[in-house]
Structure 1
Amino acid sequence: RGGGGGGYGGGGGDRGGGGGGFRGGGGGGGGFRGGGAGGGGGFDRGERAPLGPEQTGVVKFFNGARGFGFVTPDDGGADVFVHVSAVERAGLPPLEEGQKISFQTLPDPKGKGPKAVNLKMVE
């Protein structure tokens, strides 16, 4: 009878609804016994966190087996996390210590610091 929610969307039911969801919004709603307000949060599909400016840096460490590494930005800022999926998305071979790359950053949704995206090799 009650509403549900979760996963990627919202729920409903005869007494109202719930919302929420992993990626954003969701509806909720109606039913014959009353309304329910939808809930939401996070980034919706298609909505993106703002990208940082393109910058360059040197690979400090990368472990392909563990799937991550770090880049030291040339501007002297804090090291930036690099996930293996960003390397694969860029079509690059596994990164090697000392390689120069360019990248942009995205904030980590868990608040752990920025992560590098849009990687490119710099010669």
Structure 2
Amino acid sequence: MGRSQETYNKKEREKKKLQKKEAKAKRKAERQANSDSTGDNFTYVDKFGNFSDTPPPPAEKTKAEDIIIGTPKKEDRMDEEELATERSGVVTFFNDGKGYGFIKDKVSQESIFVHVNNTTETIIEGNLVTFEIEKGPKGPTAVNVAVKR
């Protein structure tokens, strides 16, 4: 077998590569000689977009337990004491045709559903009434509703 032939072009390419390597090493040595003793040339941007030499304080991390997704639901169950006590309130809305309405509780200012079947006498809007609360399928319902005299 013959040995590989070195052509003029191959020698020139190798020479150029070597020159580039040496130039790069020379530039690196110059940069190191002229650099600051700190060796830290960072510029930081704060939350307002201003540049500074000092790093910003570390951000507080958010825990997964602190994140609430959606709106918190109202407590579904009501205490036995709340159900048993007689309350008073004002009828804010009542539809005779459909037979339902709402009573605004004087203490909690909560709007409570009332159906005509749970009343002892006829009621109209603006009546001052006494009632008890029972847990209904969609929330609290007023029962034993009577007009206060």
The TM-score normalised by the length of structure 1 is 0.51
Larger radius of gyration: 2
**Count of residue pairs the alignment pairs up:** 68
CA positional deviation for 1:53: 1.0
Cα deviation code 1:54-113 (max 9, x no counterpart) = 0000000000111100000111331010001012xx1x02x11110000000001x2x21
Instruction: Give the structure 1 partner of residue 128 of structure 2.
Output: 100
Over the matched positions of the two proteins, sequence identity in percent amounts to 35
Higher share in helix: 2
Unaligned runs of 5+ in 1: 1-49
Structure 1 position 116 matched with structure 2 position 135: no
Show the counterpart of 2:85: 53
Matches within 5 A, 1:1-123: 51-87=83-119, 90=120, 92-93=121-122, 95-108=123-136, 110=137, 112-123=138-149
Q: Distance in 1 between matches of 2:108 and 2:134?
A: 18
The CA distance in 1 between the partners of 2:89 and 2:142, in whole Å, is 10
Unaligned runs of 5+ in 2: 1-79
**What is the identity, as a one-letter code, of the residue corresponding to 2:92?**
K
Alignment RMSD:
1.3
